[in-house]
Amino acid sequence: MKIKPISQHGMQLTRFGLMNCYLVRESDGFTLIDTTIGGSGDQILAAARSLDAPIRRILLTHAHVDHIGALDELATKLPGVQVAIGDRESLMLPKPPKQNLNPLPGEPPCKLKGGYPGANTPATHLISAQELFGSLRCLATEGHTPGHMSFLDERDGTLYTGDAMVTVGGKPHVPGYGPWFFPLPKFATWDRPTSVAVIQRLISDPPLIAIARLAPGHGPVLEGGRNLLEAALLEVKA
């Protein structure tokens, strides 16, 4: 697992060059954003130990397999760790038969896509849009999944986008619109028009703290904010 500092407070952990999770330093230790795939738990724990701080919280952007894969491993080895996920997305987190993969009234009637293996570990906290979770402002970025959330570190402007944005190839993309050589987000995105509308919303109604960089679930961290969002929309219109 590759470890790379991305800001004053954030560290990017990457498996196989494509799957990211992040350690965000708080006063009492780390918040881990996503867990990548199964079998990653020991490497994530080793990364935290190498940085001399414990993992206190696991914060999930969404419930796809490449973001919750190591959740159960980590929860077993971190007794008492807090597990947080968006209220809407929490319906997809349990294993069947408790798992609900159906759109709710008022949502686009699209079938959910991508892998939802579920987890045995329950959420201990359900986050809501605009909530401040530690230093992270929780932003609703639905589209890739119905309850997808992104997290803005209000200390340094890092937007942890999960799969609301993809930067494989070194450029910003709305999931489902590129790049051609990494089609996974397209096949796993629930409703592409909603994903586009979310990026438009971030431009027209930006968060109070300016976005300084994008830290995605797939691809490198890119420096920039509004310019990157606008570039991604241009690709959609092309």
> Would the pTM of this model clear 0.75, i.e. be above it?
yes
Give per-residue pLDDT as tens, 58-69.
Answer: 999 999 999 999
Say yes or no to pLDDT of 28 above 80: yes
What is the per-residue pLDDT for 47?
98
pLDDT tens track for 90-138: 999 999 999 999 999 999 999 999 999 999 999 999 999 999 999 999 9
Q: What is the DSSP string of 87-120?
A: TTGGGGSBPTTT---SPPTTS--PPP-S----BS
pLDDT band at 183 (very low <50, low <70, confident <90, very high): confident
User: What is the predicted pLDDT for the residue at 211?
Assistant: 98
Mean pLDDT for the chain?
Answer: 96
* Cα(159)–Cα(118) distance, integer angstroms: 26
Domain ranges of the chain: 2-237
Long-range CB contacts (< 8 A, 24+ apart) of 171-180? 171/222, 171/231, 171/235, 172/214, 172/222, 172/228, 172/229, 172/231, 172/232, 173/232, 173/235, 174/199, 174/232, 174/233, 174/235, 174/236, 175/143, 175/144, 177/232, 177/235, 177/236, 178/235
**86, 127 contact by CB (below 8 A):** yes
Pick the CATH number of 2-237 from 3.30.300.160, 3.60.15.10, 3.40.50.300, 3.40.250.10: 3.60.15.10
Q: Say yes or no to pLDDT of 55 above 90.
A: yes
pLDDT at 81: 97
Could you tell me the pLDDT band of residue 178, with boundaries at 50, 70 and 90? Answer: confident
Per-residue pLDDT at 179: 81
Task: Return the structure tokens found at 81.
Answer: 């760790």
**Which is it for strands 136-140 and 29-33: parallel, antiparallel or unpaired?**
unpaired
> What was the pLDDT predicted at 176?
85
State the pLDDT at residue 218.
97
Q: List pLDDT tens digits, range 217-237.
A: 999 999 999 999 999 999 998
- The residue-averaged pLDDT of 38-52 equals 97
> Is pLDDT at 72 greater than 90 in this prediction?
yes
